[in-house]
Every structure is written in C-alpha cells, then in structure tokens.
Amino acid sequence: MNLGMFSEIDFKYLGALLARSDDAKQAEFFKAFVKECQSWGTHYQVEKQLAWINHLLTKEEREVLSMLGYEGKP
C-alpha cells in the first residue's frame, strides 16, 4: 500500500487518539489493519508478524488486548 505520506507517523499519538475513539472507529482501524495484513500473501506471514508484536508487549498489555480474540457476547 502506498500511503503517500511525507513524514513519520507518531504511533504513540495515533494510539492515544484511537484509544479515545468510539468502538466503531476502533473497529474500523482493526478491520483496515487486518485487511492490509491479509494482502501480504500468506496466513503464516501475518501470524509471524503478530507473534513478534506479541513478544514486544508486556503481559498486562496482552491482557488488555485479549478481548479482541474473545468469542461470545461482550
């Protein structure tokens, strides 16, 4: 994907904005993230990338994100 951006993205600021957004905007972000990951070619490539991300998160951060994979009613 060619984003056409000319400067670095401040991911800490972007993350803070995302965290303060409503659930619809947050879901839009994650859907776009997943769609881009799926364009890489194989499921294995996506799993490897997510495993590396997981490795860089603390236990507490992984616990906060655990509901993203929850199956069932919130």
List the helix and strand counts (H, then E) for the chain.
4, 0
Q: pTM (2 decimals)? A: 0.80
Note the pLDDT of residue 25: 98
Q: State the pLDDT confidence band at 3, using cuts at 50, 70 and 90.
A: low
Which residue, among 69, 72, 1, has the nearest Cα to 35 in the 3D structure?
A: 1
pLDDT for 7 beyond 80: no
In this predicted structure, the answer to whether residue 12 has a pLDDT above a threshold of 60 is yes
pLDDT digits (tens, 9 = 90+) for 30-66: 999 999 999 998 999 999 999 999 999 999 999 999 9
Cα–Cα distance, 40 to 8 (Å, whole number): 22
